[in-house]
């Protein structure tokens, strides 16, 4: 699996850290959000890193700073289309 990743948001609280990335699997053409959680004391024993995947639509339903960053990114992708006239409704 070959993944392209773009950081969305990072949060640190003491020794705990969360990182959300927009990820694209080039082999399956799947777009999703990757959530990496680091927990515990990184200077010694007793720490762990866990990575999970969240479907894009599900992630967009959850209010969070990471979601807000993804929305900003998506808005930049479509910024040029705002001036394009839409066909008039019949």
Give the tens place of pLDDT for each residue, 8-32.
Answer: 999 998 778 999 999 999 999 999 9
Give the rounded percent of residues in the chain with a pLDDT score beyond 70.
82
**Average confidence score pLDDT of the chain:** 86
SS3 73: helix
Report residues of the chain scoring pLDDT below 50. Answer: none
The pLDDT, as a whole number, for residue 89 is 56
| Rama region for 29: left / alpha / beta (φ>0; ψ in -120 to 50; rest) | left
């Amino acid at each position: 699996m070959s993944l392209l990743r773009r950081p969305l948001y990072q949060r640190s609280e003491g020794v705990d850290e969360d990182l959300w990335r927009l990820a694209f699997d080039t082999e399956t053409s799947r777009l999703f959000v990757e959530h990496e959680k680091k927990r515990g004391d990184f200077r010694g024993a007793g720490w762990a890193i866990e990575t999970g995947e969240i479907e894009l639509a599900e992630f967009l339903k959850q209010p969070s700073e990471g979601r807000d960053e993804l929305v900003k990114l998506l808005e930049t992708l479509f910024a040029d289309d705002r001036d394009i006239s839409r066909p008039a409704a019949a």
